[in-house]
């Protein structure tokens, strides 16, 4: 749809250069070329299929440079479209092959045949345009007379008029020949934007300001622009101007783009991507990035946008920090635990945690392979990589013979294998007691037995006093639900339970990040024989369903401190591999969620409704071998009384709006 001239003048400015833009009359595309050249534009667009590079049979025409110019294509005097003119500069590349007979006898084999080097050159030049959501390819036929054919010299240019694009859009242009003899040229052109679409900041929020008339109906779409593949739509709505759209700063990522267009037939769409250099958008992108282990030797980095990053394989001893590089290094093309960008560590995960189980005091053996099937083994220790066998005084050196035997007998777990070497994890716990001599064993037998009895009594008394550890996980659906979770956690703390919940650890959560905080809490809870409580809500069920479908949680209206999304990467493997029973329980609130709505995978552990099943819920939170106390009903009544005010506050009487309903791009009814 032609853009009124006053809007073009607002976007382009009123400098003499702008006012002198060339105007093209009519809607037909055209082409012209330098003097001496002949060119022709195909009547219709072609498929954009560059094909593979093939050897040139001799001298060929090849694009060497792309030059763009803004022009106006006008249907009427005051109704014009902004159009992009492209000039393709051409040169002669390659050379003729000398005939064998001519090289041998010093002359032409047959003077009666016209030499091909005196012929003209022809080429089919393709111009490919891409400006979301439009993509097209045109074909230009060019012929150069023999008099202008000089190897390595420019022969002129061919000009295409012209490619229409929306104000504010980014146009990507490629040029190559058919067949393709060289790598295609590429050029990116940013068109000026309309002044009535602006982006402003207000504290943690971002405002999209659309200064259009009250009668103007327009569409607004937010999408993730992708380097490869089509854009991913995020939000869409039809509106009437003027409008101010508010975005939360946590929704910003560098590839988040905005598209606006009037709701009229054949309207031109305006696209801007204003957050490419925003530091907050880059921080959010890394917070949303996740590493997933697909197979033993392949991984996937999930992120909303393309990430320029460098990956490296490293190792870390129990309690050790930071992660240490492998010496000598292994190839890290297919697996990583460290991801760096701009020389800064952005992401660190142990991808083998699910296959290895809880962190153990194992030894990592690094095998390096040299020429002629030569191989060497060393054990990774904080002091370096100790060669095996070795006479050093380190722990791995003293146990080197046993480690090599375990490796040969198949008792070590292979973590990595490629042409350069392999990585193995060998258990160490069985060698601890072998170093004790029989004399020491005899002397300490009685003391050990006595100490064991005292220790059992002490541990029993200590466990009864401290209570069992419980990690409470939930989805932060809204502030009212968070208050309800806080009331439940406070009530459970009155019992012999040690409750951990992210509501009480916001400072540590912000410093460490949700993933690291949850990993530490989960590991500590399970190592102490505690229990992880999954508190299901409609939001939690939706997140679980997304993970079970796609293996990744999409961005939604969840706060930056929501550990539930971060926890799914480790919670799901426990359920999939049958490790959840005995270590996990589920719960949901009456009137908020029915237990049958919980995904079937999570119903492999008990799921209780609260407060109706509080006695059974509290019984499941006790130590596994603890006797059922007669005070269980009394404690359930105590928790119910403490929880009731929060329940009454959350569940309003019939006829009042349900809590947690929001507005904006994350909660609107997109069309």
Contact 335, 351 (CB under 8 A): yes
Q: What is the pLDDT of residue 332?
A: 44
Q: Rounded CA gap, 90 and 127, in Å?
A: 13
Q: What is the pLDDT of residue 660?
A: 44
In this predicted structure, the answer to whether residue 342 has a pLDDT above a threshold of 60 is no
At residue 193, the pLDDT reads 64
pLDDT, tens digit (0-9, with 9 covering 90-100), for 588-632: 999 899 999 999 999 999 999 999 999 999 989 887 766 666 678
- Parallel, antiparallel or unpaired: strands 23-25 and 60-74: parallel
d(CA 637, CA 646): 15
198 vs 244: which has the higher pLDDT: 244
Among 10-24, 243-257, 269-283, where is mean pLDDT lowest? 10-24
The helix or strand, by DSSP H or E, that contains position 566, with its residue range, turns out to be helix 563-576
What is the token pair recorded at 103?
């090289």
Query: What are the tens digits of pLDDT across the range 80-108?
Result: 777 889 999 999 987 766 555 544 444 44
**Two tokens at 640?**
């119910």
Q: Where does the pLDDT of residue 670 fall: very low under 50, low under 70, confident under 90, or very high at 90 and above?
A: very low
Element (H, E) at 406: helix 400-408
Contact call for residues 472 and 485 (beta carbons, < 8 A): yes
The span from the CA of 236 to the CA of 259, in Å, is 9
Confidence (pLDDT) at 180 = 92
Decide: residue 561, CB within 10 A, 0-12 exposed, 13-18 middle, 19+ buried.
Answer: middle
Give buried/exposed letters for 537-557 (b at 16+ CB in 10 A, else e). bebbbebbebbeeeebbebeb
Residues whose CB is less than 8 angstroms from the CB of residue 187 and which lie 6 or more positions away in sequence, other chains included: 66, 68, 172, 173
Torsions phi, psi for 459 (to 5 deg): -65, -40
> Which has the higher per-residue pLDDT, 310 or 60?
60
Query: Burial level of 519, CB count in 10 A (0-12/13-18/19+)?
Result: buried
Alpha-carbon distance 467 to 523, whole Å? 17
Of 146, 253, 151, whose CA–CA distance to 206 is shortest? 253
Question: Among candidates 236, 197, 239, which has minimal Cα distance to 217?
Answer: 239
Q: Provide the CA 28 distance to its chain's centre, in angstroms.
A: 43
The rounded distance, in Å, linking the Cα atoms of 363 and 379 is 7
Pick 134 or 239 by higher pLDDT.
239
């Amino acid at each position: 749809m032609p853009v009124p001239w006053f809007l073009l003048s607002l976007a382009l400015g009123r400098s003499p250069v702008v006012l002198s833009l060339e105007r093209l009359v009519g809607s037909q595309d055209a082409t012209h070329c330098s003097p001496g050249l002949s060119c022709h534009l195909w009547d219709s667009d072609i498929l954009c299929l560059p094909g593979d590079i093939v050897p040139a049979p001799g001298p060929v025409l090849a694009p060497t440079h792309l030059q763009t110019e803004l022009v106006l294509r006008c249907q009427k005097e005051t109704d014009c479209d902004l159009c992009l003119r492209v000039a393709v500069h051409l040169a002669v590349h390659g050379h003729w092959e000398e005939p064998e007979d001519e090289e041998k006898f010093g002359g032409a084999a047959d003077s009666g045949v016209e030499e091909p080097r005196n012929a003209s050159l022809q080429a089919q030049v393709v111009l490919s345009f891409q400006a979301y959501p439009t993509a097209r390819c045109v074909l230009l036929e060019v012929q150069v007379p023999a008099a202008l054919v000089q190897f390595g010299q420019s022969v002129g240019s061919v000009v295409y008029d012209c490619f229409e694009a929306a104000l504010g859009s980014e146009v990507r242009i490629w040029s190559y020949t058919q067949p393709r003899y060289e790598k295609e040229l590429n050029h990116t052109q940013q068109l000026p934007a309309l002044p009535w679409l602006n982006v402003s900041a207000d504290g943690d929020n971002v405002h999209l300001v659309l200064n259009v008339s009250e009668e103007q109906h327009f569409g607004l779409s937010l999408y993730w622009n992708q380097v490869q593949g089509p854009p991913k739509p995020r939000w869409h709505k039809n509106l009437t101007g003027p409008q101010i759209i508010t975005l939360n700063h946590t929704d910003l990522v560098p590839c988040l783009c905005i598209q606006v267009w009037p709701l009229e037939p054949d309207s031109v769409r305006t696209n801007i991507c204003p957050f490419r250099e925003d530091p907050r958008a880059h921080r959010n992108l890394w917070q949303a990035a996740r590493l997933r282990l697909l197979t033993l030797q392949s991984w996937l980095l999930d992120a909303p946008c393309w990430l320029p990053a460098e990956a490296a394989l490293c190792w870390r001893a129990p309690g050790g920090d930071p992660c240490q590089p492998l010496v000598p290094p292994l190839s890290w093309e297919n697996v990583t635990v460290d991801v760096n960008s701009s020389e800064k560590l952005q992401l660190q995960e142990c991808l083998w945690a699910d296959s290895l189980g809880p962190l153990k005091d194992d030894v990592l053996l690094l095998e390096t392979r040299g020429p002629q099937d030569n191989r060497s083994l060393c054990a990774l220790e904080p002091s370096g990589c100790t060669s095996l066998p070795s006479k050093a005084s380190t722990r791995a050196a003293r146990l080197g013979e046993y480690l090599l035997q375990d490796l040969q007998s198949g008792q070590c777990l292979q973590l990595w294998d490629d042409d350069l070497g392999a990585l193995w994890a060998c258990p160490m716990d069985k060698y601890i007691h072998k170093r004790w001599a029989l004399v020491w064993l005899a002397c300490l037998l009685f003391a050990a037995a006595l100490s064991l009895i005292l220790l059992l009594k002490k541990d029993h008394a200590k466990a009864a006093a401290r209570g069992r550890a419980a990690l409470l996980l939930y989805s932060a659906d809204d502030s009212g639900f968070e208050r309800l979770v806080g009331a439940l956690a406070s009530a459970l703390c009155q019992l012999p339970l040690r409750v951990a919940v992210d509501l009480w650890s916001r400072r540590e959560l912000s410093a460490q990040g949700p993933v690291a905080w949850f990993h530490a809490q989960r590991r500590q809870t399970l190592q102490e024989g505690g229990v992880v409580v999954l508190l299901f809500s409609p939001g939690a069920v939706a997140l679980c369903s997304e993970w079970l479908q796609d293996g990744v949680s999409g961005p939604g209206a969840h706060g930056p401190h929501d550990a539930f999304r971060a926890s799914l990467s480790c919670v799901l493997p426990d359920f999939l591999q049958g490790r959840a029973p005995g270590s996990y329980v589920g719960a949901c609130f009456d009137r908020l969620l029915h237990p049958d709505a919980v995904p079937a995978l999570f119903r492999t552990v008990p799921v209780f409704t609260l407060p109706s099943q509080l006695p059974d819920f509290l019984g499941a939170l006790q130590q596994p071998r603890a006797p059922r106390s007669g005070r269980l009903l009394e404690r359930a009544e105590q928790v119910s009384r403490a929880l009731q005010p929060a329940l009454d506050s959350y569940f309003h009487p019939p006829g009042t709006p349900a809590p947690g309903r929001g507005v904006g791009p994350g909660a609107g009814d997109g069309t």
